[in-house]
Every structure is written in C-alpha cells, then in structure tokens.
Amino acid sequence: MTTSTAAATTPRPSLREQLGRSEQAYFVLGITVVLCVVGAATTPGFLTTGNFASLLRLSAAFGILAVGVAIVILGKGIDLSIAGVALGCAQATLALMSSGMPEWQAIAIAAAVALSVGLVNGVLVAYVEVPSLFVTLATGLLVIGGVDMLLLDSNYYALPGGSWIAELSNGSILGVPRPIIIAAAVFVLAWLFVTYTSAGRLIRAMGDNFATARATGAPVRPLQVLTYVISALLALLAGYLTVSIQGSVQTTVTSFDPLLFTALTATVIGGISLAGGRGSILGVLAGSLFIGVLNNLLVLHGLTSAVQDLIRGGVLIAAIALDSWLHPRDEETAKSGEL
C-alpha cells in the first residue's frame, strides 16, 4: 500500500475530536468578547472604566480559587473544601484579631489550619483512597463548623483599617488595582508550575493516566497531597482578598458560598476536564473572565438572587455536559480512580 493510499484511508478526526484537542481558552475568550459587546449594547453603565475595574477586582478572588481547584482536577481529583477554607479562615482571623490577638499571629493560625486541611485532604485521598468528593466536602464543613463553635460570638466582623489584610485591596501599581496584580501573579506562577516544573508535568500525567504514571515510577501519592495543599493555601489567600475587598466578613455564610460555585464553573468552562490531565491555566483565566462578566451583567440588570442562581446553574450544567462530550472517559481511564 502506498503512502498516498494509506493517507487516503486514514479516517478524518471527528468534530468532537478536533474540538477536544483544541485550546478551549481562545473559544471562551471569544465568547467573553461577544458577551461584552452584548452587555455594552443592552446594559447602561457596563462599558465604563469604573465598572470594569470593579469587575476585575471582584473576579480576582474566585480566579485564585479556580487556579487551586484546577491544579487538583488536573491531577484527577476534586476539592470542594476551598470555599470552607477561604471563608472559615477569614472568619477565624478577624475573630482572633477582634479579641486582641496580633494580626500576624491570627494569620499564622489560619495558615496552619489551611495547611492542615490540605494535608488531611491529600492523605485521605492518596493513601487511604477515600473519594475526594466526600473527603473535601466533609473537611470544608468541618472548618466552617469548627470555627463557628470555637471562635465566633458575632454575626459580623469588620476588618480593621491599616491591617495587612486590608492593604491587599488598597491602592494600585501603575494604575492597576492591587487585587488584579495579586491574581495575575498567581496565574503566572501557576502557569510556570504546571508547564515548566517536573512536579507540574507529573501531576498532569498522573491525571491523564494514573496507573501509567505510577508504573513509570512517578511519586503519585505525594503529588496528590501536594495538589490539595496548594489548593488550600490559595483558598486562604482568596479568602483574605475577599475580606479585604468587602471590608468585613459575615459569619452566617456557609461553605456552599457562591465562591465555590463560581470557582468550579470558571474551571470547567475554561477547559480543565473533570476526567483529569487536560486543560491549561490560560483556560482558567478565560473561564474566570467569562464568569466575572456574566456575574456583573446579572447584577447590573437587577435580577433577583433566584434568577441569578438559575442562570448560573444552567451555565454550570452546560459546561459539564460539554466537558463530558469533548472528553469522554474510556474504561482504561475509569480504572485509574474516581473523583
């Protein structure tokens, strides 16, 4: 058989295969641009510098959360404790500061809690082999419940002015608000980690095929623990950034805060496949921008919370369905472990 004949008999990739191999980030960025054009034409006040600055500031926190959960998903896991860690540690820090504890000590305690949650998540998933879905859901609730029982005696804590946490959102660098600078730094460092470090490349390989990565000698269990530790520490940073922007924290919210939904949606929309091993940090950035614009338009149009939740839920279902269609899980992949 000649080379031309072999090429002629080779089946062309299907539309699904072509889309599955493409960089989803560019597609999402295109949709975001279209959404901005529609918003500018239909929404008064959308196309202003102040609105865009506010949009990016508010998107910074869940963008950082999305980076953390994306690294876990790349390694074939899931982390539902991120909002619990973000909110619980922020609540604990302000409660300890209100009792007279120095800020650095309160932050150190909260950081120790976040690190402990990440380690517990990783050890239970990697070594005890408990499904990550249930482990991280439980630890997120434990953080919220534990902080509430042990530390909280008020429904509202204001952030003291001049504190280190308050400075996270104050001021700008070369005209760029500080939260955007912090989020950009996190995205760049995450991109460098996933793309250029051996640990980042092994995490992606582990997510693509766990059994093969383990057979080649990759330290898959320590790497799993590392992903959950990174996610927990980024959740801590996102929690502090949220409190800094808002200037206070309410203790009546739970770990099922919209932060969790928003971060997960941005991750999946950005092309981080729930099957593991596929996607990019650029995709997470694109997904975060899309969700930020969508949330901004929903608020500017004055829609009720119920309608906003309905729209966001529909977007998440559509994103998960698209991910399942583009990246179907075969039997070999399924044998390497469930979420």
Predicted confidence at residue 335, as pLDDT, reads 43
Residue 337: pLDDT over 60 = no
Residue 307: pLDDT over 70 = yes
Average pLDDT, rounded, for the chain? 85
pLDDT bucket at 85, cuts 50 / 70 / 90: very high
Q: Which long-range contacts (CB under 8 A, 24 or more apart) does 270-274 make?
A: 270/24, 270/25, 270/28, 270/66, 270/70, 271/23, 271/24, 271/25, 271/28, 272/70, 272/73, 272/74, 273/73, 273/323, 273/326, 273/327, 274/73, 274/78, 274/320, 274/323, 274/324, 274/327, 274/339
Q: Cα–Cα distance between 274 and 72 in angstroms, integer?
A: 10
- Highest average pLDDT, of 2-6, 280-284, 310-314, 328-332, comes from 280-284
Predicted confidence at residue 316, as pLDDT, reads 80
Query: Each residue of 185-225: pLDDT tens digit?
Result: 999 999 999 999 999 999 998 988 888 888 888 898 999 99
Q: Cα–Cα distance between 183 and 111 in angstroms, integer?
A: 19
pLDDT bucket at 19, cuts 50 / 70 / 90: low
Query: Each residue of 223-248: pLDDT tens digit?
Result: 999 999 999 999 999 999 999 998 88
Residues 111/236, Cβ–Cβ less than 8 Å:
yes
Predicted confidence at residue 9, as pLDDT, reads 56
Predicted confidence at residue 15, as pLDDT, reads 55
